Amino acid sequence: MSFLFKNGRFWLAAFLGSAGGLSAQVAEPQVLPLDPVRFAKVTPLGKVPDWEDLKRYAHTLTREEFESAWKEVYSPGKGLPPPFEVTADALLVPTGDPSDPVYKVPFRNSSEQASPPAVSWRRAAELPRLRDRPLLSDLHIALDPGHIGGGWGQMEERFLSFQAGEAIQEGDLSLLTARVLSERLQALGARVSLVRDRAEPVTEQRPADFEKLALATLQEHGILNPLPTYQGVEGDAKILTVQWQTEKLFYRVSEIHARASKVNLKIEPDLVLCLHLNAESWGPSTAPQFSPQNHLHVLVNGCYAPVELEQQDVRFEMLTRLFDRIHEEEIPLASAVADGMARSTGLPAYVYTTPNARKAGTNPYVYARNLLANRLYQCPVVYLEPFVMNHEETYRRLLAGHYIGRTLVGGRLQSSAIEDYVRGVVQGLVSYYQTQRRS
84/387 with CB nearer Zn ion: 387
Quickly list DSSP for 30-85: --SS--GGGG----TTPPPP-GGGGGGGTTTS-HHHHHHHIIIIIS-SSSSPPSSE
96/171 with CB nearer Zn ion: 171
Of the listed pieces 144-152, 208-216, 337-345, 365-373, which binds Zn ion according to CB under 5 A? 144-152
21/146 with CB nearer Zn ion: 146
From residue 83, give the alpha-carbon distance in Å to each of 308, 348, 372. 10, 36, 20
Binding mask 96-135 for Zn ion (x = CB under 5 A): ----------------------------------------
Task: Report in angstroms how near the CB of residue 429 gets to Zn ion at its nearest.
Answer: 21
4/366 with CB nearer Zn ion: 4
1 binds Zn ion (CB under 5 A): yes
Of the listed pieces 68-76, 139-147, 352-360, 376-384, which binds Zn ion according to CB under 5 A? 139-147
Task: Report in angstroms how near the CB of residue 2 gets to Zn ion at its nearest.
Answer: 6
From residue 184, give the alpha-carbon distance in Å to each of 346, 400, 403. 21, 20, 14
**122 pairs with which residues across the strands?**
none
1/322 with CB nearer Zn ion: 1
CA 317 to chain centre: 13
What amino acid occupies position 87?
T
299 binds Zn ion (CB under 5 A): no
Task: Report in angstroms how near the CB of residue 144 gets to Zn ion at its nearest.
Answer: 11
Binding mask 154-193 for Zn ion (x = CB under 5 A): ----------------------------------------
8/33 with CB nearer Zn ion: 8
Of the listed pieces 86-94, 141-149, 205-213, 352-360, which binds Zn ion according to CB under 5 A? 141-149
How many Å apart are CA 344 and CA 417, to the nearest integer?
10
What residue number has its CB nearest to Zn ion? 276
146 binds Zn ion (CB under 5 A): yes
Task: Report in angstroms how near the CB of residue 277 gets to Zn ion at its nearest.
Answer: 7
337 binds Zn ion (CB under 5 A): no
Number of residues counted as binding Zn ion (CB under 5 A): 3
299/379 with CB nearer Zn ion: 299
Of the listed pieces 13-21, 66-74, 145-153, 221-229, which binds Zn ion according to CB under 5 A? 145-153
Of the listed pieces 5-13, 112-120, 146-154, 182-190, which binds Zn ion according to CB under 5 A? 146-154
Task: Report in angstroms how near the CB of residue 389 gets to Zn ion at its nearest.
Answer: 9
How many Å apart are CA 159 and CA 14, to the nearest integer?
23
CB neighbours (10 Å) of residue 287?
8
From residue 59, give the alpha-carbon distance in Å to each of 74, 104, 111. 20, 11, 11
70/383 with CB nearer Zn ion: 383
Site for Zn ion in 247-286 (CB under 5 A): 276
CA 424 to chain centre: 19
From residue 404, give the alpha-carbon distance in Å to each of 143, 187, 400, 416, 418. 21, 17, 11, 7, 10
Q: Which residues contact 392 (CB under 8 A, 6 or more apart)?
A: 290, 410
Site for Zn ion in 7-66 (CB under 5 A): none
Q: Which of 312, 325, 331, 304 has the alpha carbon at shortest distance from 60? A: 325
61/384 with CB nearer Zn ion: 384
19/218 with CB nearer Zn ion: 19
195 binds Zn ion (CB under 5 A): no
Which H, E and C letters describe 153-221, residue by residue? CCCCCCEEEEECCEEEEHHHHHHHHHHHHHHHHHHCCCEEEECCCCCCCCCCCCHHHHHHHHHHHHHHC
Continuous H helices in 254-304? 255-261
Residues that bind Zn ion (CB under 5 A): 1, 146, 276
